[in-house]
Amino acid sequence: MTDWTEQPAPSAAEIEALARQVLAGLPAEFAGHAQDVILRVEEFAGEDVLDELEIDDPLELTGLYDGIPLTEKSATDPQHFPDTVHLYRRAILDEWTERGDVTLGALVSHVVIHEFAHHFGWSDDDIARIDRWWE
């Protein structure tokens, strides 16, 4: 058993390493498109993001895709910013401890796959039909 009295909470770098393992395991048809997306691990979503999404508690948002889904992109449209997936470390750790029934790796994997699915053009409803994670 791990002695948690001597263990620090996983760092942003450790969360990113878990996320990069997930990305390295994507099937080839998705991996090429995923490599163009920036991955950022931050402590919390910013107030502007929370306000835009009408979320009061920053611990409720574990990840966010910010960009234009591949299904909506046009080669003739200018791209003003790179597509980015944000992972919010403190919200991920909070959910991990509250759930108590999943590994940190499994939770990070779920959040990464969910956010990258948005990049590939899937809606939350599309994802929910396949991924029953929240039940």
What pLDDT shows up at residue 22? 92
| Residues 72/129/98/45 CA torsion (nearest 10 deg) | 10
pLDDT at 78: 72
- CB-based contact 35:64 (threshold 8 Å): no
Domains contained in the chain, CATH given: 10-130 (3.30.2010.20)
Say what the pLDDT of residue 29 is.
81
Provide the pLDDT for residue 3: 66
CB-CB contact of 53 with 23 (8 Å): no
* pLDDT number for residue 5: 73
- At 88 the pLDDT is 98
pLDDT of residue 2: 63
Q: Block means of pLDDT (10 residues each) for the chain, length 135 residues?
A: 73 95 87 88 96 96 92 74 94 94 92 89 74 57
How many helices (H) and strands (E) would you count in the chain? Answer: 6, 3
| H/E segment holding residue 52 | helix 47-53
